[in-house]
Chain A
């Protein structure tokens, strides 16, 4: 960036339009603006800041020239503007900030919000306006506001330059390290919102193990399904077989319904025959029993009359005392005493009677026995009265039973003959029942298998969807992991580049500052630069140990050396980039130094030194300096001066810039 010119209109002391052009010559790169105190030197620097960043250190908002304001009629308006023309990256920019001031009653001014306009020149020479919302951004791209203090500075405050807080970012920005530093931060895994951290948050940790388990489960389920489906097919075949068999058997049973009826009847007849056969044995046994029991009585049928006749023909001598035995009477006679108590020894007549009675008794007399025998025979006759009837009845039963048996046998034979050659329907029916039982069992089994298949299919579906879900996350993980790897590589690359660059920058800066310092300072002190780019002056205590040492004058020199070092470094970088466009390089634009009262607190020797060094290190030097200070600087700088201006103070409220020489 090189500043071509600045045009001020009604800006503070500078009434109407004041244009100051700056030397852009490579050799005579110094523009000197001379002015006395309160002539408006600082206002010039402020004009740069206002134009570029809209800020000033003035206490009032209105920037209008007091004289102009006075001349304005009431309720009229006037423009205050500063326009900076600058060259940046080979492009000409025209930056203009304008404030409209209206004069109110009682001469009080009111102002509008300043408007910014940025134009740049196209390659075809036409001016192109930057959209309003992009204007400030464009300026910051050219020279960040944060860095502006190093380039537009007030010499009275130069001592603060190296102690400002954000030296690090300032240096980085200036050296073009800011971008890569931001890039490093953007990728750094240590930063919460970095690319890598965000990617790592995206990772689904622990999903891989789950995926393996799910796949294993899926394989198991698929194997199970396969087994079940094979079993299902088998059972279906079996069912088909048993259904076919059922049809066959049903058809056979229907076709042989008659046979079945006959077979049932045959079974009944068989049972009847069994019964009749048992009954036959019983009735036969009955006739034998009945025949046997009174057979001798029956066959004596013709004999009873003969027996009675013989008994009747025999001489019967009276009847003995029933149930009395011969021996009983003999006992009574022997004891000589009757059962009535009478003495028999003295009564022969009684004994004779008794002897007679005794003779009628068995065994000596058989009358009684015969009578008993005859009664037995009569009883026999009575007992056999129904003998023949009984036998006849028994026999009829036998015959009936036998006839029935014959009938049944005949029927059985007939049935057997009709059934002969036919199949056993009962067996078919039993087969059919068994077939039905198996068929039911198989159908139930099929149901079980089918429902099991359904379950396994559901399981497989849910496993597959779970796996698909995981695959998405797994693939996402893969992508993220790859992205992290890339990001890490980029991070490392950036970091290495940055570290290297920063090291180079620091070394260069350190060398540059020390070199510049030694050129500016005529003592034995050395400059040290720490990680935060803070520099300290050290002095050899005499035995090789350096200690801190400072003074306001030395600080001025030190800070100039720092600024010069930075600018020098930036310029070197720019050159390096131009020389090696193919290499990765950080953009760094040459910058001007615009200084207001730079030599305050510096002694003559240092002013001379600074004046010699600054034009060497900066592309463009704009010095706003008091006449008296210029005298010390002039001899060392005059060769470099391309333009020189004098600020002419017309009054306290009006100055103008006049070009000298």
Chain B
């Protein structure tokens, strides 16, 4: 798993590009937040964020926008992607599995369409959350940068007790 190209489409593709600097670099005319270095960084963070906040979004096709994360990038992040995948599989409670079943899903038979569907649902949820966080009350570069600080500060505060 995580050996080929990763495709994202619809508004989540738009959001993902909006959050990534890669897009900014490719097309300077397009107005973006550019708060992540690469699209793969958005993808990985979105999966964690999605499962953290329990945000799952179904695949949708409201616009024709697509994003393709190339296999070479994916392969370079494969280990991290697998770790993220396992975290998602272990933490997800939406399918009523016990711990052993979660372990099996995460470790024994991870690469199933069902699992990947679940994973990508969380990715889309996370992308949407990130997009909303970064674009709410922010339209300028300075504001987007400030949002990084605010989001990190807020998330830290939320989890102080947990830590």
Chain A residues close to B by CB (< 8 Å): 284, 287-289, 291-293, 295-296, 298-303, 305-307, 309-315, 363, 366, 369-370, 373, 376-377, 380, 387-388, 391-392, 394-395, 398, 402
Specify which of A293, A300, A402 is in contact with B87 (CB 8 Å cutoff): A300
Q: A291-B152, A295-B45, A303-B52 are in contact. Are A311 and B145 (CB under 8 A)?
A: no
**What chain A residues lie within 8 Å of B80 (beta carbons)?**
296
Interchain CA distance A23-B114 in the complex, whole Å = 199
Which of B3-11, B62-70, B99-107 interfaces with chain A?
Answer: B99-107
Given contacts A309-B99, A366-B104, 20 further A-B contacts (CB under 8 A): A284-B145, A287-B148, A288-B21, A288-B37, A289-B37, A291-B148, A292-B38, A292-B45, A295-B36, A296-B47, A301-B159, A305-B162, A307-B91, A310-B99, A313-B100, A314-B100, A369-B107, A388-B153, A391-B152, A392-B153
Q: Which 6 pairs across A and B sit closest by C-beta, in order of nearness?
A: A313-B99, A395-B149, A366-B107, A295-B45, A292-B37, A388-B156
Q: A302 to B87, Cβ gap below 8 A?
A: no
Contact with A along B73-107 (1 / 0, CB 8 A): 00000001001101100110000001110111011
Q: Considering the complex, give the chain B residue whose CB is closest to the CB of A398.
A: B145
Interchain CA distance A377-B102 in the complex, whole Å = 17
**What chain A residues lie within 8 Å of B108 (beta carbons)?**
363, 366
Within the complex, the shortest CB–CB distance from B95 to chain A, in Å, comes to: 13
Q: A373 to B152, Cβ gap below 8 A?
A: no
Interchain CA distance A307-B158 in the complex, whole Å = 19
Q: A299 to B102, Cβ gap below 8 A?
A: no
Within the complex, the shortest CB–CB distance from B131 to chain A, in Å, comes to: 14
Contact with A along B28-49 (1 / 0, CB 8 A): 0000001111100100110111
Within the complex, the shortest CB–CB distance from B124 to chain A, in Å, comes to: 15
Q: A288 to B36, Cβ gap below 8 A?
A: yes
**What chain B residues lie within 8 Å of A373 (beta carbons)?**
83, 86, 106-107
B117 within 8 A of A: no
B51 within 8 A of A: yes
**What chain B residues lie within 8 Å of A369 (beta carbons)?**
107
**What chain B residues lie within 8 Å of A387 (beta carbons)?**
152
Q: B103 to A310, Cβ gap below 8 A?
A: yes
Within the complex, the shortest CB–CB distance from B133 to chain A, in Å, comes to: 11
Interchain CA distance A377-B87 in the complex, whole Å = 9
Within the complex, the shortest CB–CB distance from A326 to chain B, in Å, comes to: 12
Q: A288-B34, A292-B38, A307-B91 are in contact. Are A302 and B159 (CB under 8 A)?
A: yes
Q: B152 to A296, Cβ gap below 8 A?
A: no
Instruction: Sample 10 A-B pairs with CB under 8 A, ordered by A number.
Output: A292-B41, A293-B37, A295-B45, A296-B41, A300-B84, A301-B155, A301-B162, A303-B87, A391-B149, A391-B152
Within the complex, the shortest CB–CB distance from B129 to chain A, in Å, comes to: 10
**What chain A residues lie within 8 Å of B86 (beta carbons)?**
307, 373
Within the complex, the shortest CB–CB distance from A635 to chain B, in Å, comes to: 172
Interchain CA distance A296-B155 in the complex, whole Å = 12
Interchain CA distance A292-B20 in the complex, whole Å = 10
B27 within 8 A of A: no
Q: A315 to B152, Cβ gap below 8 A?
A: no
**What chain B residues lie within 8 Å of A376 (beta carbons)?**
83
Within the complex, the shortest CB–CB distance from B34 to chain A, in Å, comes to: 7
Q: Considering the complex, give the chain A residue whose CB is closest to the CB of B93.
A: A306
**What chain B residues lie within 8 Å of A392 (beta carbons)?**
149, 152-153
**What chain A residues lie within 8 Å of B141 (beta carbons)?**
284
Q: Considering the complex, give the chain B residue whose CB is closest to the CB of A281.
A: B141
**What chain A residues lie within 8 Å of B159 (beta carbons)?**
301-302
Within the complex, the shortest CB–CB distance from B24 to chain A, in Å, comes to: 10
**What chain A residues lie within 8 Å of B49 (beta carbons)?**
299
Within the complex, the shortest CB–CB distance from A391 to chain B, in Å, comes to: 4
Q: A299 to B142, Cβ gap below 8 A?
A: no
**What chain B residues lie within 8 Å of A310 (beta carbons)?**
90-91, 99, 102-103
Within the complex, the shortest CB–CB distance from B41 to chain A, in Å, comes to: 5
Q: Considering the complex, give the chain B residue whose CB is closest to the CB of A388.
A: B156
Q: B45 to A299, Cβ gap below 8 A?
A: yes
Interchain CA distance A300-B87 in the complex, whole Å = 8
Q: A391 to B103, Cβ gap below 8 A?
A: no
Q: B145 to A287, Cβ gap below 8 A?
A: yes
**What chain A residues lie within 8 Å of B103 (beta carbons)?**
310-311, 314, 366, 370
Interchain CA distance A314-B159 in the complex, whole Å = 26
Q: Considering the complex, give the chain A residue whose CB is closest to the CB of B35.
A: A288
B146 within 8 A of A: yes
**What chain A residues lie within 8 Å of B98 (beta carbons)?**
313
Interchain CA distance A305-B86 in the complex, whole Å = 14
